[in-house]
Amino acid sequence: MTDRHERRCALLQARELVNGDPSLVSRRCWTDQTVYELEKRGIFGRAWLFLGHESQIRLPGDFVQAYMCETPIILSRGQDCGIYANINSCSHRGLPVCRADHGNARRFVCPYHNWSYTVEGELATIPQEGALAGKPDKSKLGLKRVPRVESWRGLIFGSFDPDIIPLEEYLGDMRFYLDAFLGRFPGGIEFMGAPHRWVLDANWKLPVENQLGDVNHGAFLHSAIIPREAQDLIEALGYSVVTSPGHGATFRLMPADAPVDEVAWGMEGMGGMFGGAEVQDYLREVQARAAERVGPLRARMKGLTYGIYPNLSFLWSNASFKVSHPRGPGKVEYWSWAVVPADAPDAVKQVLRTNYSSFFGPGGILEQEDSEVWVQQFRGSNIDFADDRPYFYGLGLGEEAPHPQLPGLVSVTANEFYARQFFLRWRDDLRAVEGGV
């Protein structure tokens, strides 16, 4: 064991950030500015990135702000009801032309010289041109459009790579697991309100890893709140799945004869438990029809955490979508939304959102522990004289395997293969743009 460990360290000294398995991950993956620049080009410049949900922009003129890595994006519903994503930066002097988090607009106007743009991103007016002989070609001066925008089940993604594979192909078998949730509700889901935006001195990848498959930390980090017996039950029924490197899901597969209240989504949250009969009846009704909507196997699924490469997370158990927006190697803007079934009555939605906010988000009873860990992990990664001690990612190495009913590689939740698979893809993406290094 010691020999293997030393051999792996030697590989790292040969400028390897992530070893072959990859069971060792360098501290510099989390802290290095050069690595971060490679991440921007190799990952955020080439992947499908989550922008928002269609429920946020229902009507022509509706818009929300989004980010693709550090690049500010306006996501809008055009007058033609199409979905548009443009970089929020004026073609004249670069100021943001949209200054509100969300709303409805006919025009986006730059405050400096009042160049104005349509909600689709076309340049509409240049106030100065009436006084001048030369007329700029406005058709070439619109906001920079995100070249690829596609949505699936209401989830909108954009990519800076015009040649990227279609979104559905990118999501691949994650659609099977996402549909287990999204397909449960007759009207799909909707996002409630603006995202909670939490800025932390942490690297963007650790919140992602936390939500990609790290169920196991619950018994330890969260033991002040989560009873050991509850965590043991989660792990006894729990599966961890990687559909393709970087995409993963964890969930419980409940016994076929489990009572409806133990299977139904939402019942285990604070809102579901204490929110009253109307909420519980609604949740039971959804579960009663789950098998006909998503099939008998997925009706028994009681999800935990999901991750979509590179930085989208979905926390099924606490009804939240999250995006980890990088702000440099040591800063992250972590966004989270409560998600609720679109067809639920307003009063039920207002209770169900507390399934998220009670435990997660910037005020959450559980996530205050996670955020502290993310900050402390960045500090631990950024110390001197420890670069010969990469992080050990070898728990459960090779113990994952295909499953007869569940797409992807499958294992127990203590197996860290979800994180190893993430770093395999991460390493490949960085290598693709390293150029000669």
**x-or-dash string of contact with other proteins, 100-129, rule CB under 8 A:** xxxxxx------------------------
* Bridge-based pairing state of the strands 332-341 and 391-392: unpaired
Among 14, 131, 132, 224, binds other proteins (CB under 8 A): 224
Query: Of these, 53, 175, 196, 205, which contacts other proteins (CB under 8 A)?
Result: 196
342 binds other proteins (CB under 8 A): no
Per DSSP, the residues of 397-417 read TT--EE-SSSSSEEE-TT-TH
Closest CA relative to residue 306, chosen from 321, 290, 286, 326: 321
Measured distance CA(244)–CA(407) in Å, rounded: 10
DSSP code per residue over 304-370? EEEEETTTEEEEGGGTEEEEEEESSTT-EEEEEEEEEETTS-HHHHHHHHHHHHTTSSTT-TTHHHH
CA distance 380 to 27: 8
338 binds other proteins (CB under 8 A): yes
Interface segment toward other proteins; rule CB under 8 A; list 277-285, 296-304, 357-365, 395-403? 357-365
Binds other proteins by CB under 8 A, chosen from 60, 369, 407, 414: 369
Residue from 6, 20, 274, 392 touching other proteins (CB under 8 A): that is: 274
Binding status of residue 232 toward other proteins by CB under 8 A: no
- Give me the helix-helix angle, 417-434 and 205-212, nearest 10°: 140
Pick from 213, 361, 394, 396 the residue near other proteins by CB under 8 A: 361
Asked if 151 interacts with other proteins (CB under 8 A), we say: no
Which among 33-41, 87-95, 97-105, 152-160 is the span making contact with other proteins, rule CB under 8 A? Answer: 97-105
Cα distance between the two ends of the chain: 31
Stretch that binds other proteins, among 1-9, 231-239, 284-292, 363-371 (CB under 8 A): 363-371
DSSP state letter for 378:
H
**Chain contacts with other proteins (rule: CB under 8 A):** 99-105, 192-194, 196-200, 220-221, 223-225, 270, 274, 333, 337-338, 346, 349-350, 353-354, 356-358, 361-365, 368-369, 371-373, 375
